[in-house]
Amino acid sequence: MGLVYFILCAYGMTYILLYGSIFNPIRPKKGKLGELFKCPLCLGFWVGVFLWSINYFTELFTYEYNFINALLLGSLSAGSSYFLSMILDDFGLKLRNTKGGDEK
């Protein structure tokens, strides 16, 4: 269950950092940090590493402190944050009309 909590926390934190209007005044717009805060895959990795680094302070998930766990959990967070951001938005599931029709 700890892995599910980790994924949900990572996605939630990534989504808030990327799209939360409360962060608009302080969110970087230019340079490398600006690029980081536009990409759920990139930011998701660093959110995962951050969550791994603070896992001592929570009972939701517990992982050993070593480089491999940091890399794996960062990668898990990046992949799951990207995947979930591609299938979900503010209105629920993202659905595309793939049938041919009148295109403008």
Say whether pLDDT at 95 is over 70: yes
14 pLDDT band (50/70/90 cuts)?
Answer: very high
Cβ partners under 8 Å of residue 53, min gap 6: 65, 70
Q: Which pLDDT score is estimated for 90? A: 77
Confidence of residue 102 (pLDDT cuts 50, 70, 90): low
pTM of the shown model = 0.84
Residue 100 confidence (pLDDT)? 64
| pLDDT recorded at residue 89 | 79
pLDDT band at 101 (very low <50, low <70, confident <90, very high): low
Token readout for 85 is 């951001």
